[in-house]
Structure 1
Amino acid sequence: MAQQHNQPLTPAQEAERYLENARQILTEKAGKKDGLYADVKYVKMAAGTAYSAALLILDEYLLQKEGIHFTKPKSIEDYTNRLRKLDKKLLALLVDVYDELHIAGYYHGTQSVNTIQTGLNNVRQMLSYI
C-alpha cells in the first residue's frame, strides 16, 4: 500500500501495515520447514510487530467507544478490564493474541508456525472492530 506524504494513515491502515510487515518478516527471514520457523529472532520480531498492530486496533476501538474520556491503557489488565465492559468477543481475541503473539511469539520465541499464524489471523479479525 503506497502512502502519500501529505495524508497520514488511518489507524486501520496503520494496523494493516504492521500486519503486512510481520508477514513479510516471517516470509522473507524466519525460514519455514516442517511446520516450524528456523530463525527465532525473526519470529520474535514479527510477533512483536503483529502484537503492536493489535494494540493500535484496541486503542482506536476504545477511543471510538470512550470518546473524550479515552486514555491510553497502561497494561494488558487495563485493556482487558475495559473490553470486558464493551465487547466480550473482542476481549476473547485479545486474550488469544496476547498468548499467541506476545507471550509465545515475542517472549518465548516459539518456532510453531501454527501458533504465530493463528495469532496473525486473530489480529486480522480484530481489524473489523474499527
Structure 2
Amino acid sequence: MTKVQDNPIKEAERYLENSRQILSEKAGKDGDYYDDPKYVRMAGRVAWQGVRAALDGLPEVKAKRKMRRQVRFEDYMEAVTQCDPKMSKPLFYTHETLQKVLIGDGNLSCGMVESGMNQAKEVIDWADREYRKQHP
C-alpha cells in the first residue's frame, strides 16, 4: 500500500479535496458568490499546492528540486513544456486563476472559483498520466 506522501498524485488529489472542503464548510455561499474572501484565498492556495505536488512527480522537476530548495513557476512551465507543449497553456491559466484571481484578489464569484478548481484538476489529471508512464 502506497502512502499518500509517497505518491505525488494522491497528495495532489488530497490537496484539491481539502480545497473544496474549505469552500463548502467555511467560505459560505450566497447564490453565485462566496461570502468570505479569506477562505476563498485559502482554498486557492491549497489548490495551487495540489497542482505543485502533482508536478513535483515529473522527473524534470525532481532534478530541479535537488539543485535548489524552491521550484519556481517558470521551472514547472519548462518541465511541462518539455513533456507536452500543449499543456503549457492550461498550466499557465491554472496559475493565473489560482494565484492571481483567487489568492491575490479573493474573487468571490462561484463560477471563477469553480473554473480554477476545474483547471487544477485538469493539470493534476495530466500529471497523473505522466506519472503513470514513469511508474507503471
Shorter-chain-normalised TM-score: which range? 0.7 to 0.9
Unaligned runs of 5+ in 1: none
Residue 41 of structure 1, aligned match among 31, 38, 43: 38
- Mapped partners of 2:94, 2:30: distance in 1: 23
Shift of 1:27: 0.4
Q: Which amino acid aligns with 1:43?
A: V
The 10-residue stretch of structure 1 (34-43 or 69-78) with the greater mean CA deviation from structure 2? 69-78
Q: Which residue of 1 aligns with 2:83?
A: 86
Shift of 1:89: 3.0
How is 1:8-19 mapped onto 2 (pairs within 5 angstroms)?
Answer: 8-9=3-4, 10-19=7-16
- What is the Cα-based RMSD across aligned positions, in Å? 2.0
Residue 70 of structure 1, aligned match among 52, 63, 69: 63
Q: Which runs of 4+ in 1 moved over 6 A?
A: none
For 2:64, what is the secondary structure of its paired residue?
Answer: coil
Shift of 1:44: 0.5
Shift of 1:26: 0.2
Residue 111 of structure 1, aligned match among 73, 93, 108: 108
Unaligned runs of 5+ in 2: 129-136
For 1:27, what is the secondary structure of its paired residue?
Answer: helix
Q: Percent identity?
A: 34
How many residues align? The count is 121
Q: Which residue of 1 aligns with 2:134?
A: none
Q: Which amino acid aligns with 1:70?
A: A
